[in-house]
Amino acid sequence: MQGKLAEVEISKDGEMYIAKIILPSGEVVNLENEDFEEVLEQVANDLQERYPN
């Protein structure tokens, strides 16, 4: 059975990358970092904590 785990939006404001994770519950998590790869890693780590294997 497939289900949506989260929606992720990534934007840039000046030098800062902003990731917005929207969970099915409606909870919104905002992550920021100046490094694009770091913000992606933060997103991956957050989702791994919420949905462990």
Which residues of the chain form beta strands (DSSP E)? Answer: 7-13, 16-22, 28-33
Q: How confident is the model at residue 1, as a pLDDT?
A: 58
| Burial class of residue 22 in the structure, from the number of CB atoms within 10 Å of its CB (0-12 exposed, 13-18 middle, 19+ buried) | middle
Exposed, middle or buried, 20 (CB in 10 Å: 0-12/13-18/19+)? Answer: middle
Q: What is the pLDDT of residue 53?
A: 80
Give the pLDDT of the chain (53 residues) as one tens digit per residue: 588 999 999 999 999 999 999 999 999 999 999 999 999 999 999 999 999 98
pLDDT value, residue 38: 98
Quick one: pLDDT at residue 2? 81
